[in-house]
Structure 1
Amino acid sequence: MLIAKLSQEWHFPPIDILLLEEPEFHIHPTMQRKLLDRLADYGVQLIATTHSPTVLNWFVRNSGRVFRTEFEEVEKRTAVNEAHDLAELRYLLGSIGASPADVLLADRVLLVEGPNDIPVFQAFLEKAPSLKGQNIPVLSLGGTTAAGRNFDASLWTNLHPKIWAVLDSERRGPNKTAARSQSTVKASLEVAGISCHLTELRATENYLTPRALKVVYRKAPAAIEPFGDPNLATQGVKQFDKRRNGEVARAMEWNEVGNTDLGIYLEKFLRS
């Protein structure tokens, strides 16, 4: 923690990356999470080796990448493989003697479409009146891959009993139906018992307000078209980058979200 703190005070040489070996040793799970939260607040990149479900859960919830090392007996070498999806993550957990319940330790789970949506909904949930200290991991469904034939929504219900989902509808107008791919994913989730909401507007980007956009980009149009192109550069937001959507969401107030269908759904989710 001292090194991470000094990284903010010492501008030369800068300290950008902090390597942690088994940060869970001799620390209660609650303190493990608090330690990682504090270190992340210092702005350093964290890379950790761990056998702790709590530490692994923290990285997953904060959009970190998870890798599994394994010694290959035949080739006499150590292989490093990324855990891309739920099935691989479950396999990884089993290999360190943990169960999915040990990992999430969550009150409920929210699924969103892609990785760029994770910080947006994390920001919205943090502002929601009904959050009240709940631990809510926001996880990605993997984008368009969820609409494929091999998508098995029941894997999610095996992970946690209280899972809801929010997806972009890709509607092109107020009276238009959602895109077929989005409706397919919604149907798959609901068959598995997962409540799924398709946005009334076209995409998550269409909920970002001009006021908040100006905080991040300085220049933004007076209004965002509710069914316009989610690439907001076409709507006048210069240098728009969807990877910065989380920053925009953090600049929004709850009253800018709460009266929308997203805000109503999130409050219902938190009170379920």
Structure 2
Amino acid sequence: MKTTRITLKNYRAFSDQNPARIEIGPGLTALVGPNNTGKSALKLFFYEMRDLFLVFLRDPHNQPNLISAAAGSSVGVNYLGVSDVQEIFNNTNGRNLTFEIEVIGATSPAGTNRTINKMVATCSRSAPTEWSIQFFSVEEPRTAISEPNGFQPTGTVRQFIGGSSLNYNADDLVDVMRAFHGARYYGAFRNALNQGSGQHYDFNIGTAFIDLWNTWKTSGNKAQSRAIGKITDEIRTLFEFDHLEINASVLLKTLLVTINGHQYRLAELGSGISQFIMALGNAATTTPPLILIDEPETNLHPSLQIDFLLKLAQYATAGCLFSTHSVGLARSVAERIYTVQKDGRGPTVRPFETTATYSEFLGELSFSTFRDMGCDRILLVEGVTDVKVIQQFLRLVQKEHTTVILPLGGDQMVTGSREMELQELRRLSQNIVALVDSERTIDGAQPAERRLKFAEVCRRVGFDVCLTEKRAIENYFPDYAVKAALGSSFAALAPYELLSEHANGWSKSDNWRIAHHVTKHDLLTTDIGQFLSRI
């Protein structure tokens, strides 16, 4: 799924005078704000509108709703989990509810001469289950497509066949709708294992989850068994258990967890480990394109919050949207961050643009008291995507819970002109190290000049620093790890190859998924692994 811009007008708390507008795409997207500002409503939208997204996925020959909608007919839908349909409308005015979806960077494949990259859907309070839909193309952004006389799949491309004989490619938009329809919403209530079967939004709880776990573990299906085994091993590693086994009880009333030879009912354990088991279990058994989750930091020690979020996000094939009270958590892992705050017009959603100084940033972290929780060092890395990669590597050398990783904010901060900002960190810790890409172009070449100057400043203020021997972090990924994370059509980079110039490159936001598959042995053969081992 390509990055997509969503605009909501008159949906719940978001009026058309103060609409909600966010972008969702590969990687993680964060919504940061206090309680009762509308963060959950933005995720609830995908849950409630699931039936409307389905219009784009039906067989056009049997359910030609997409054609009739483009031609001006309304589409009838039901809302998931809504008892009174008037609830979905903003209560400050009587105007229509509208949402817009625009695919950013949509392209035109061969055989088409127009590309549909935007749709606008509208419903009124007088007919709240009837939607009118308009489609717009990149080439004609202000004119809605009208009078289509067909809709057909051509190879992997879905096309409108326009009345004027123009072919409109709808492939990117259909991919987005497939991801939105498959999105799964996990509310803040995520560790209930009481007797009785049920769901909390898309989250299986109680005996529904126990039955699911037992089926996947004992059905004999190898893929399902491996998935359960992977979850168990990841939890064992994160909580540093020597042995972990998770089984359903004989009567399927609870889960029995055996830790280092001692058996416990899940209810006897802390809410943190319960959340890991239930959330990862739900995600692994559905592998949704999008995971929508409230407050992933809930019930978790600060040192486990990033671990939990990244482990959960790896099961989402298109992306993860999460809401949080922690600016620090959002800035540590998210590619896109939006703040949600209330003002006189209702909730206001805006990109998080303010760049704090380094010391202010650490003060914002929910784990600001990192020394009290056993952390004894700060590790500086270049950007957010590097945080998630290094988190995977630190786990292999068993230092993920004793290290606070701080992103510097990108290339513009990795220079020789940031000595004042780096000096500020000395007031917070005497054990600070830095790991950044060297940007070397060939074997034996010097690092880029600005990287050398950054390293010089780091050493001057007393920081240990590693400039990578290879060009960048992604040049260290073995071929097996690339293929395990992305598929057999992908291949590793050469030591000094630019990712953007690779024949079948990937997004940097996927780097952490690849890092997850790197073995400790292979990491320790590199300068990065040796640096992380000795810090």
TM-score of the pair, normalised by structure 1 = 0.70
| Structure 1 outlier segments of 4+, above 6 Å | 64-73, 77-81
How far off is 1:140 after superposition? Answer: 1.3
**Residues 81 and 248 of structure 1, relative CA distance in 2, 3 Å threshold:** closer
Find the residue that maps to 1:196 and give its secondary structure: strand
Using the alignment, how far apart are the partners of 2:519 and 2:393 within structure 1? Answer: 9
In the alignment, which residue of structure 2 is the partner of 1:184?
453
The residue type equivalent to 1:160 in the other structure is S
Deviations 1:155-192 (A, max 9, x none): 23233332211111111222211110101111122222
The residue type equivalent to 1:127 in the other structure is L
Bigger share in strand:
2
Using the alignment, how far apart are the partners of 1:251 and 1:99 within structure 2? Answer: 27
Q: Give matches, 1:117-128, under 5 Å.
A: 117-128=386-397
Using the alignment, how far apart are the partners of 1:210 and 1:9 within structure 2? Answer: 24
Q: Give matches, 1:150-229, under 5 Å.
A: 152-215=421-484, 216-221=486-491, 224-227=493-496, 229=497
**Residues 162 and 56 of structure 1, relative CA distance in 2, 3 Å threshold:** farther
User: Which of 506, 509, 528 does residue 243 from structure 1 map onto?
Assistant: 509
Using the alignment, how far apart are the partners of 2:284 and 2:518 within structure 1? Answer: 29
**Residues 56 and 174 of structure 1, relative CA distance in 2, 3 Å threshold:** same
Structure 1: gaps (5+ residues): none
Identity %: 21
- Tell whether the 8 Å contact from 1:111 to 1:164 is kept in structure 2 after alignment: yes
In the alignment, which residue of structure 2 is the partner of 1:142?
409
Aligned residues between the structures: 249
Aligned Cα root-mean-square deviation (Å): 4.2
**Residues 201 and 88 of structure 1, relative CA distance in 2, 3 Å threshold:** closer
Using the alignment, how far apart are the partners of 2:369 and 2:438 within structure 1? Answer: 31
In the alignment, which residue of structure 2 is the partner of 1:45?
321
How far off is 1:79 after superposition? Answer: 9.3
The residue type equivalent to 1:140 in the other structure is P
Q: Which moved more, 1:135-144 or 1:260-269?
A: 135-144
**Residues 5 and 15 of structure 1, relative CA distance in 2, 3 Å threshold:** farther
**Residues 39 and 199 of structure 1, relative CA distance in 2, 3 Å threshold:** closer
Using the alignment, how far apart are the partners of 1:268 and 1:90 within structure 2? Answer: 28
Deviations 1:199-241 (A, max 9, x none): 11111121111111122231345x64222x231652x4x2422
Deviations 1:60-102 (A, max 9, x none): 54448777788999xxx989673744428728948x9x99546
Compare CA radii of gyration and give the structure with the larger one.
2
Using the alignment, how far apart are the partners of 2:494 and 2:284 within structure 1? Answer: 43
**Residues 100 and 15 of structure 1, relative CA distance in 2, 3 Å threshold:** closer
Structure 2: gaps (5+ residues): 1-189, 193-199, 205-281, 314-319
**Residues 104 and 180 of structure 1, relative CA distance in 2, 3 Å threshold:** farther
Bigger share in helix:
1
The residue type equivalent to 2:323 in the other structure is I
In the alignment, which residue of structure 2 is the partner of 1:230?
498
Using the alignment, how far apart are the partners of 1:194 and 1:154 within structure 2? Answer: 10
Q: Which moved more, 1:81-90 or 1:212-221?
A: 81-90
Using the alignment, how far apart are the partners of 1:99 and 1:116 within structure 2? Answer: 20
- Tell whether the 8 Å contact from 1:100 to 1:159 is kept in structure 2 after alignment: no
**Residues 91 and 241 of structure 1, relative CA distance in 2, 3 Å threshold:** closer
In the alignment, which residue of structure 1 is the partner of 2:203?
5
**Residues 78 and 91 of structure 1, relative CA distance in 2, 3 Å threshold:** farther
In the alignment, which residue of structure 1 is the partner of 2:527?
261
The residue type equivalent to 2:452 in the other structure is S
- Tell whether the 8 Å contact from 1:5 to 1:42 is kept in structure 2 after alignment: no
